[in-house]
Chains A and B, each alone.
Chain A
């Protein structure tokens, strides 16, 4: 957490050099954060889906689940 806090504090300090307030500093990094969040949600969603249905969403792409049978032992 200390590293995260340092980064946040440094970004706010540097943002102030160009006259940016806290909200604007957050806006600067928003897109990057949104992409990371969306990716994380997708990955978690896919794993959850797999546990519920015993399969993986990839089957809807036309790829046979048997193609991945070798991986089952690892999951």
Chain B
């Protein structure tokens, strides 16, 4: 019963304007190579990759240019055929300088990609698949950028029964997962084969939100007979796509505070990540580009583009016709995306979107609104999907009671979805407080 929206949802949450119609009907297009591509060696959580190229070396598109350093790390691949100009520091989204490979593509660099050592889904062992995924440089493309092979290997003694393919994409403006589901349907099912085999889960569920009914229908119609896959459609609500909430909505299981999906025998993989695994592994290729939604009122040629990793935000905005009065640019969507302070930072594997706001939108955005004292209206309490008490946490943050926040009020469970700040009529920057508080708690526990 696909056309029937099931009550697969969670409590609380918010309904920000979606703005998905602006790009959801636009097919994925290729993007030109920038004059210089900057490939950071650390695009994921965990240890940075180790460069295996030297300055001046010629590389072919798809060639491995860095190898993983340990298990919690992945490989990197050349996004274009060209010359390695230098290996030096480059700015990243956090404002840090990180070691990166500067690659100058040949003027005639084609979109052809070099094949590597294939991984056959029928014969490969789970460990071989996990190694192949690491070699392909796959990280969570939903934004987490966590090395994928790590979560595929459940902790000792934990059994996985359900693989959830997360195609919820609840962030406003973003439509990459939507397009990938429509255009890479076959890759997704191939990816699911690899993932089921690697994890030992007995069934897979593809989670989609009701605003992507066409994608859900297409997936349902093209589902191979022999694959234990179902498609479930959830009502539209932010942040439905959060791992904890998808698992709660579909399986009714609650990941314990501070726990992992494996604690409830589930694993959650982003749908674009799954599609990449299905596309890359049969040919032994690695991630050298990804689909990104370029949107927001500050962009003229909005759309979904397959953009080489290492392309700078500046190049992307210039190619897509950014407005003169753009005032705020962020990677991802407006609820969780990080604001860009330097347009010369490169796109990495975890970048799902670039959204540009103009002065017209930021005039009414959070930073420009008058901040009032908390009036205990409880809207934040009613929006928090994890049932935290943002109002009280905000009060504690202001008094710098960081330890109390963590110990008594579960601060560390907050995944910064932004629902509380979004609804706050006093415009208190709650998420900002919590981010700072979490940092302070980590610092305090390190020094203790």
Q: Check if A and B associate.
A: no
Q: Hey, which bits of chain B sit against chain A, CB under 8 A?
A: none
The chain A residues found within 8 Å of chain B, CB to CB, are none
